[in-house]
Amino acid sequence: MSAVTRRQFLAAAGLAAAGPVPANAATDPDFDVIIIGAGAAGISAARRIAQSGKTFAVLEASDHWGGRCFTDLKTFGVPYDRGALWVHETEAFPVDQLASKAGLETYKEPSTQRLRIATPPDPRLRVPTRKARVSELEEFYSKLVSCNQAIASAAPSDISCASALPKDIGDWRPTMEFVLGPFLCGSDLSAMSANEYALWVKPENTVRVRRGVGTLMGRLALGAPMRFFSPVNRIEWGSRLVQVETRGERMTARAVILTASTAVLASGKIEFRPSLPVHFAQAIDKLTLGSLDRVAIEFSGNPLGVQSDELIFEKAVGRQTAALHANFLGSRLCLVQVGGKMCADLALEGEAALNDFAIKWLVSQFGSDLRNSIERTHATRWSKDPWTLGAFSTAVPGGQSARKVLSKPLGDQVWFAGEAVHESLWGTVAGAWEIGERAANDVISRIRK
């Protein structure tokens, strides 16, 4: 991608810093398009805009591309995906093809379609201190299917997913609530729309990237005119040009593609002038970001006695539960995943609280001897990241239509993009990618007119 050179970008930024440029001034804009955010949606949009030959720039608030697709290569010396662990492959997001062109190795594993959960490979189950029996594992599958069917049946009334769960699941309820809510979506089922959950689509295959999902995003972003440490604090729209302000610098464009998370939009970090119309503001409030974090634990050897890339749940007895991605990508890293309100509370206390919970949970499953094999730990805290403020979006009961509202441009000048805008692939990298490309196509069409 070479739509704008570094010299051109800095020159435009320098002109912008020289003083405010009225958005209705009779002058050419600095760029045809400004893309705010370098996550999957922003990268997808940038690639499409580059193909069109339009001038553009990407403003990223953090110090890295990929957004919530972030591969840490330093902490443990091996690829450690702090965000997305795998991605769904769709026609609009051909992961294998994109990764191959980027020189990265992938491998596919089919989703557990009969469970309607996209989790490679088939999960394992533990009843504390032992592996589940075959009959218990079959009951686990059966209850998941029953819960999914019950939520789908309740969709027309759009109650909460928790209210829709069948009454006869007995002591499996905590497990079902965790797997379908905090584990998959980062939100408790009581805060999720049954209607939206029923519309959630899971593509046929999930794809792992051996060097990490964030590494893939970085390769796909190469060549884009990208500027890090550039949080946008104001967007002025409604005149001939859109004006964007970042760290006191002002730049103008014919259109803006805004990929910030709904939590960042709701926080007021970005000021809109004029203010957002009420229906946009209400839609953003209905698409709350959940909490989904992992504690990475590096062991010496394999004290848990598990295979590479095993996914393990427990038959929970309460809300204090988690899931384990064991020996991630063949490494010595075990990732303990927590989500929902419990996760948000732990993240608020700090990394030490997350680490302590994860180790105690593992001890309850595999015994206390594993403590002697712990070498290093690291916990993510996405809800405390200032430029994301959470995991991904879920609609509150009655709020599913909010995604459709955000799919419309603001004044035919500002397009919202990202997973939160997709009505059936929300919460996925594929959904964010598809929406970014769709927004770019709309912008190109609008500019050509």
Q: Which one of 126-130, 263-267, 326-330 scores highest in mean pLDDT?
A: 263-267
Domain locations along the chain: 6-67+212-288+397-448
Query: What's the average model confidence in pLDDT over 1-5?
Result: 43
Rounded to 10 degrees, what is the CA torsion of 244, 249, 250, 254?
-60
C-beta of residue 20 within 8 angstroms of C-beta of residue 435: no
Residue with tokens 């697709």: 69
Give CA–CA dist 37/44, Å, rounded: 11
pTM (predicted TM-score): 0.89
Instruction: Report d(CA 140, CA 170) in Å as an integer.
Output: 12
β 205-209/87-88 pair status = antiparallel
What confidence category does residue 340 fall into, taking pLDDT thresholds of 50, 70 and 90?
very high
Q: How far is CA 352 from CA 71, 205, 347, 355, in A?
A: 21, 36, 9, 5
3-state SS assignment for residue 420: helix
Which carries the bigger pLDDT value, residue 180 or residue 204?
180
How many residues are present in the chain? 449
Q: Of 19-33, 316-330, 435-449, where does the model show the most confidence? A: 435-449
Q: What is the overall mean pLDDT for the chain?
A: 89
User: Which of 23-32, 208-217, 264-273, 304-313 has the weakest average pLDDT?
Assistant: 23-32
State the pLDDT at residue 15: 35
CATH number for domain 6-67+212-288+397-448, candidates 3.40.50.300, 2.60.40.10, 3.50.50.60, 3.40.50.720: 3.50.50.60
SS3 assignment, position 374: strand
Q: Above 50 in pLDDT, residue 439?
A: yes
Q: Is the pLDDT of residue 146 over 70?
A: yes
Say yes or no to pLDDT of 109 above 70. no
pLDDT average, residue stretch 312-336: 92
Give me the mean pLDDT over the 26-34 stretch.
88
Residue 129, pLDDT above cutoff 90: no
- Concatenated DSSP letters of 118-173: --SSPPEEEETTEEPPHHHHHHHHHHHHHHHHHHHHHGGGT-BHHHHS-GGGGGGH
**Cβ atoms of 259 and 44 closer than 8 Å:** no
